[in-house]
A and B are shown apart, each in its own frame.
Chain A
Amino acid sequence: MSQPATIAWFARHEIGLVWRDWLAMVTAGKRGREPLVLLVVLVLLGGVQLLAYYMVRPFAEAGIAPDKTTLAVVTGSAFLSWTLMLSQAMESVTRAFYARADLDLILSSPASARRVFAVRIGAIALSTTLLAMLLAGPFVNALAAMDGARWLAAYGVLAAMGALAAAVAVAATVALFRSLGPKRTRLIAQIVAAVVGAAFVIGVQAAAILSYGSYSRLALLSSDGFIDAVPDVSSAVWWPAQAAMGDLPALAVVMAVGLGLLLLVIAVFSAGFGDHVIAASGVAFDTGRQQRQRHAFRRASTGQALRRKEWVLIRRDPWLVSQTLMQILYLLPPALLLWRNYGDDVGALLILVPVLVMASGQLAGGLAWLAVSGEDAPDLVATAPIAPGAVLRAKVEAVLGAIAIIAAPLVLALGIVQPGLALWAVAGIAAAAVSATTIQIWFRAQAKRSNFRRRQTSSRVATLAEAFSSILWAGAAGFAAAGSWLAVGPALLALLVIGVAWAIRPRADQ
């Protein structure tokens, strides 16, 4: 048993809380489900491992030499992963600043706030690293199995990347806090986190489209022009990639830099973290904003009143608007593809259909959560003299209306070039949006609107079902647009996912 209020004691406390949170999340708070969860996790891991094996096998069989092309592709992919890790770490740091949770208790106690925040920064690095390992692990394992154990060194690189991401995230967020103040930092940091996560992938895709007319990032990273422009294999730029491929001296340097920077950031910033949290607690975010004065109530039916309310709340939520814009940002590469191929290479436009369908499904899921589960005045709406079905209908109309408005410009542009593709896009968008919305309705669980960012944690099943249905509808629409009967497969699987979601949906008490 560690001494109270030491770093080890706080770490044990944090790990205990994280473990219980995770267990409650995956078991939906029901005891006795642990064996089932373990089985599902093992099956999923096995499935992903198998998929990774088949994906990397062609490369492993062809032989992977540490030449410039391989180093460029590995480095580019690693940097892409790192930007996503940085995005996640910034999100976590912002949450640590602004979420009250147990901070009032801890900060009002005589325990050292410095130790608490040292542990919390460490926890952010750990969670960022573990998630990256979970995603990249199957590929690393497959490469190690087929191309040699040297690839296991990639786990060390992932740990260094996680530490570096946490270190940069803390430094960047504190810098924002000091320059912008607590009131504006929250929103700006969240937007920066989202942009950081999207910018590199979108930038590389845009460059690939403009240069090669291809959606593939690999096309750019392995192109002759790019390879000629990057430094020679002896450059330090490639150390992380070389470390991942088993170069132990490079691995030692990469890990020393990552972990060293993290320790430095902890030493420098953990002391002031408490002050920032206290400053953040004094901010009522975006308070008292004066609205344009209207002089009369507008006539509205009950449905109109509900739809109007949903749209106003969505429009006035800067975080949500930024997230929606981010979804739209991901549509930039396909839009670019549309523009570049306008009038000639119609085949390349096929990629637009699944991308549009996927984005619409994801967006619909988010908006449906806000409208259905994130209702801030559920009792008010429930006590109004309206049938529950009418309330739900109005909310669904608000969600689908918003999706229609967002998707319409691209679909219309596609329709001008290729009406057939546009029709399949519309069908896919409708299927994905309706599916995601329906799943959110089945799995609705009342929550504060401000919990939007963590909506996935309220129901893992809903999140997975929503994601799988969007992916499958995107696949079905893509195949259908290509004129392939293979579309039937993902469409049937999408229906199966929806059927399973319906079968295991929580039954309401009333």
Chain B
Amino acid sequence: MTTTTPALLLKGLTKTFDRPAVDGLDLTVRAGEFYGLLGPNGAGKTTTLRIVAGLLRPDAGSVSVFGTDALADPVAAKRVVAWVSDEPMIYDRLSPFEYLEFVAGLWNIDAAAAETKARHLIDWLGLGPHAHERCQGFSKGMRQKVALAGALVHDPRLIILDEPLTGLDAGSARQVKDVLAERVRAGGTVIMTTHILEVAERMAERIGVIADGRLIAEGTLEELRREAGRDGTSLEDVFLDLVAARSAAA
């Protein structure tokens, strides 16, 4: 595997429920970049990311994570991936400290190393005073921070986040964004879906726009502006134009 191996390579990805959710999607995310995946409701973003995380099997197509075929060897792919959804996956009756211990066990991380990392994450995310309280009764923001700490404690090369900022207050959202930015600076790869376009505009190095299960545009913000013919406008305007053009074409 070389340094040019993409963090994620999707080819012809297809998944149909009652209707096609992902329709022959091709997508490449480079290692070490912050990739924003945008699209209207029902565009296929979550389905795509759930397939990458190993939570769904596609009907057709291939998924490669850092060169590993995630469909043929899902366990190997999962070792380097973390998944964070908009609904924090935590246990009400475990404390954040116990939760991180459990996650470290799932990823089979050395206990001592994981503990050091966990303590750092707990402090960094401002969870210190609550580290040994049960998560039951935690606010949405605190729960999301615990889930994020769980995603980072095993030091993944690729973090996939599906609407991680939904329902967070400004302070919590800032902390989550800071953690992700730091992660990319340290060489990690982040793929994030969000409906908050300002976040994608400010944080993502490249943005993919997906509609009806297909990638309809991709590039830096400048490249997307040029494609939409809207130089100097916001990502929101560009996004709405691209989606409207797609709808008109369909």
Residues of A within 8 A of B (CB): 284-294, 296-302, 304-306, 308-309, 312-313, 316-317, 376-387, 449, 510
Contacts and interface: CB of A to CB of B under 8 A. Distances in A.
A385 B78 CA distance: 5
Contacts of B246: none
Interface of B: 53-57, 75-79, 81-83, 85, 89-95, 97-98, 100-108, 111-112, 114-115, 118, 130, 132-134, 136-137, 150
A321 to B, nearest CB: 12
Contact of B134 (A289, A378, A382): A289
Nearest to A294: B97
Contacts of A288: 130, 133-134, 136-137
25 contacts: A285-B136, A286-B137, A287-B134, A287-B137, A293-B132, A297-B112, A297-B118, A301-B108, A304-B105, A305-B102, A305-B104, A306-B105, A308-B102, A309-B102, A317-B93, A376-B89, A379-B53, A379-B83, A379-B89, A380-B83, A384-B78, A384-B103, A384-B107, A385-B75, A386-B106
Nearest to A285: B136
Contacts of A387: 75
Contacts, number: 123
Contacts of B130: 288
Contacts of A379: 53, 55, 83, 85, 89
Contacts of A385: 75-79, 106-108
Given A296-B111, A298-B101, A300-B111, A383 B55 contact: yes
Contact of A291 (B53, B76, B95): B95
B133 A383 contact: no
A376 B115 CA distance: 23
Interface of A is mostly: loop
A312 B99 CA distance: 11
Given A286-B136, A291-B98, A377-B89, A384 B118 contact: no
A300 to B, nearest CB: 4
B136 A380 contact: no
A289 B54 CA distance: 34
Contacts of A290: 132-133
Contact of B105 (A300, A317, A383): A300
A510 to B, nearest CB: 4
A445 B56 CA distance: 15
A381 B106 contact: yes
Given A293-B97, A297-B111, A309-B91, 14 more contacts: A284-B136, A285-B136, A286-B137, A289-B134, A291-B134, A296-B111, A301-B108, A305-B102, A306-B105, A313-B94, A317-B93, A379-B83, A384-B103, A384-B107
A384 B106 contact: yes
Contacts of B83: 379-380, 383
A383 B56 CA distance: 10
A334 to B, nearest CB: 32
Contacts of B82: 383
Nearest to A318: B93
Contacts of B105: 300-302, 304-306, 308-309
